[in-house]
Amino acid sequence: MFPLHRPRRLRTTPAMRRLVSETEVRPRQLILPMFVKEGLSAPAEIGSMPGVLQHTRDSLRKAAVEAVQAGVGGIMLFGVPAERDAVGSAGTDPNGILNVALADLRAELGDSTVLMSDCCLDEFTDHGHCGVLAADGTVDNDATLELYGEMAVAQARAGAHVVGPSGMMDGQIGFIRNALDEAGLQDTGILAYSVKYASAFYGPFRDAVESQLAGDRKTYQQDPGNGREAIREVQLDLAEGADMVMVKPALLYLDVLRSVAEVSDVPVAAYQISGEYSMIEAAAANGWIDRERSILESLTAIRRAGADMVLTYWAVEAARWLDR
């Protein structure tokens, strides 16, 4: 008799496939990145990210409420200031756009979702780097840590449940943990961007935050060819007190994500970044792929590789599909 084994028996009906499915994506596992821009009078669509908006403070509140109602697990907030300087002063200013928007959302949402904040200087500096520059033009790691500590405290006081250091500075998790603890903010969590590659796929995001960067960030973000280095970065962040760790980008680094999930004893996040989003949107708009199936398949792949949570610009839309 041939064939002896017939795996197709477990694929015969939708009910059968649902019963034996190994990987699940649920709304609670999705985190929505959102952008708020200072001085806007109305929400503005980001040209390279169809369907994603730069929000006003008012539209941000409304969109965040809709996200919570859809069941998403959290919100990651990025700010776009009206003015920038060499040290990113708008990022540490309690009255800066990111911090006042955090306060708006915490007042509106309370503890009904997990409110996260990007703890990095790149949106706020006039040179677009994630830290302050030394006299020779390089990013000054240790001087940057001082500002990260100030940012984290300001964001936590504004209402962030979790701060997300994304700058890839050495020692950033330990420094921020100490700053939060010394300020009496021991309950504020840290989502460490432990594994962040110097990817070519961040372009649309830089449009979203109106980045001033000229050049690249290869001296502090990781080389795309390196895998073992990612594990070392995770281990260092765990030793410094990270409550969660992240791999970014997601789809292009599923092998790294799997390796991180195998060694991490805290929850693992993955960021489905702007370029990954825009590629699928562009292909779907041209009729080359089925949009909904492609989005859900991509999220399933990230979960299957080991992510406990996924930052995705489709969080609200996907949550509604998953719960219908």
Question: The tokens 């260092």 sit on which residue?
Answer: 236
DSSP state of 56: P
CA 100 – CA 155 distance, rounded (Å) = 9
Q: Are 84 and 125 in contact (CB under 8 A)?
A: yes
Output the CA–CA distances (angstroms, integers) from residue 185 to 88, 113, 175, 177, 189, in the order listed.
Answer: 23, 19, 14, 9, 9
Of 37, 62, 218, 248, the catalytic one is 248
Residue 58 CA, chain-centre distance (Å), reads 22
As given in the structure block, the two tokens for residue 123 are 């949106």
Q: Cis omega before residue 81 (within 30°)? A: no
**Amino acid letter, 134:** A
Q: In whole angstroms, what is the distance from residue 266 CA to residue 276 CA?
A: 25
How much of the chain is in helix, strand and coil states, percent to nearest 5? Answer: 45, 15, 40
Query: Using a CB cutoff of 8 Å and minimum separation of 24, what contacts does 52-55 make?
Result: 52/208, 52/277, 52/313, 54/80, 54/208
Helix pair 254-263, 291-305: axis angle to 10 deg: 40
196 given a catalytic annotation: yes
**DSSP strands (E only) in the chain:** 30-37, 44-45, 53-55, 74-80, 114-119, 162-165, 189-196, 244-248, 268-271, 309-311
Q: CA 186, CA 222: separation in Å to the nearest integer?
A: 30
Q: Is 62 marked active-site?
A: no
DSSP label of 223: P
Query: Rounded to the nearest 5 degrees, what angle is found at the Cα of 193, between the Cα atoms of 260 and 267?
Result: 50
Compute the distance between CA of residue 214 and CA of residue 86 in angstroms, rounded to an integer.
14
Which residues are annotated as catalytic?
196, 248
